[in-house]
Amino acid sequence: MGNRLAAAPVEELAVPLRGQYALPLTRSPSRIAIGDPDVADVKVLPPGPNRGGQVLVLGKKPGLTQLQVWSGPNGAPQVWNVRVMGDVQAALAARGVAGNAQVDVAGGGAVVSGLSTSSLDHRNAVEAAQAASGKDKVVDVSTVNVSSVVQVDVRMVEVSRSTLKDVGINANFGKGPWGASSNLIPSGLATALGGTANGFVFAYDSAHFGATLSLLESNGLARVLAQPTLLAQSGQSASFLAGGEIPVPEAGGLGTQSVVYKPFGIGLSVTPTVLSPSRIALKVAPEASELDPTNGIPIVNGNTTTVIPALSTRKADTTVELGDGETFIISGLVSRQTKAAVSKVPFLGDLPIIGAFFRGVSYSQDDRELVIVVTPHLVRPIARGVSLPLPGAREEVGNTAGTAWGYYLLGPAGGQQMPGFSR
């Protein structure tokens, strides 16, 4: 037993389908054994002037087999695991995009194993296995060596710009039992003129005649910002909503009634897919909605009338591909609402020039634009056992038996503070 020679290590050999590979040998082979002749065939080449004997391995069909070659009378054989690649797998290997995952074809099926450096390499290996054995005959036991957790930093800015213009005249005339009046100041100005006259007001008043001319123009700008941070696993969705829900009654069976809650506000849904350590495919669906009482639906229940407000919605749905830490912006979700109203005295308000004394004009315009800035990052969890500092942890003093007494007796000079971190 002690004189037996140690077996030679097993080597791996990949041969393309209908291809060949010459194994260099130091001596001419004395015996050759192939496990499955249907997968690979061998042919012995005689030694030449400047070379020893060679064994030519021919790939016949995709699969895995073993080749043993004896070069001496009593020596241990050299062993190779011969893997015959399919046409698609061989083409990927020739282009250098086959990846690290292994595709083994045996018994009419295929097994994908090993470690892929990216989702693209894994997809290439699976498709090569399907091409060699069929779509329903692939067993995938490989793994992808890339972080599958994506942190998506989102900044959502909604800018609202409103413009209001009101022009109107109030006039009255009277003497004795007869009189006349024209009240054409818009409602916006009527409130503004009660004590605090906003805009421009010009008035004339006498014993028998009084008139007031009012001009008002206002511009407003509002900015609403939401800045959520979402974490999602590759291929899964994460959502965010800054707003609320309104109850909507819904009729049920047998005269029953239930309540369904409809969300509204600024919302976002993201679905990241990690393609490689430097590429992320991200599906983004932003939405901005607000209550619209103008288009509400009244519901009458006995003597009670309830108005269910409508929802004014702006939404988008898009998919982009970008690198780790890169940013893209979605903008142009603009909503404009314009209202104009003219109040006038019949016939007199249609006259040129003089008709301005018998007309009132109210004009308003509201522009809203939504801008979304999205930045994805590949993240990994914090290692086990790491101490995480929390806000205020360094300043906080735990409650002990003598904590309050030291502060009570010595005050701030004692260097001790009350429990908590607020002084």
One domain for residues 50 and 102: no
| Per-residue confidence in pLDDT tens, the chain, 423 aa | 444 555 567 788 888 877 888 887 777 777 888 888 888 888 887 776 666 667 888 888 887 888 888 876 667 788 888 888 777 777 777 776 666 677 777 667 777 777 777 777 777 778 777 777 777 777 776 777 666 788 888 888 888 888 888 888 777 777 777 777 777 777 656 555 554 445 677 777 887 778 777 787 888 887 777 788 888 888 889 998 888 888 888 877 777 778 888 888 888 899 998 887 778 889 988 888 888 888 888 877 777 887 888 888 888 888 888 888 889 888 777 778 788 888 888 887 888 888 887 888 888 888 888 888 889 988 888 888 888 888 777 767 677 777 777 777 777 676 666 655 555
Nearest to 167, CA basis, from 208, 214, 116:
214
End-to-end CA distance of the chain: 84
One domain for residues 46 and 124: no
One domain for residues 329 and 251: yes
The number of C-alpha atoms within 13 Å of 292 and in the hemisphere containing its C-beta is 12
Looking at residue 59, its pLDDT comes to 83
Query: pTM of this prediction?
Result: 0.57
Looking at residue 51, its pLDDT comes to 65
Spatial separation of the C-alpha atoms in residues 223 and 7, rounded to whole Å = 77
One domain for residues 308 and 186: yes
One domain for residues 172 and 262: yes
One domain for residues 32 and 101: no
Tokens (6 digits) for 319: 């998919």
One domain for residues 98 and 81: no
Looking at residue 345, its pLDDT comes to 82
Residue 400 domain-assigned (yes or no): no
Of 119, 144, 169, the domain-final residue: 144
Looking at residue 2, its pLDDT comes to 47
Using CA atoms, how far residue 381 sits from 39, 55, 120, 147, 211, in Å, is 46, 52, 24, 10, 74
Q: Which domain holds residue 119?
A: 87-144
One domain for residues 135 and 255: no
Looking at residue 373, its pLDDT comes to 87
Spatial separation of the C-alpha atoms in residues 167 and 216, rounded to whole Å = 7
Spatial separation of the C-alpha atoms in residues 420 and 269, rounded to whole Å = 38
Looking at residue 196, its pLDDT comes to 44
Tokens (6 digits) for 141: 């036991």
One domain for residues 91 and 80: no
Looking at residue 226, its pLDDT comes to 79
| Structural domain count, the chain | 3
CATH of the domain at 75: 2.60.40.1080
One domain for residues 98 and 191: no
Looking at residue 195, its pLDDT comes to 47
Of 128, 144, 160, the domain-final residue: 144
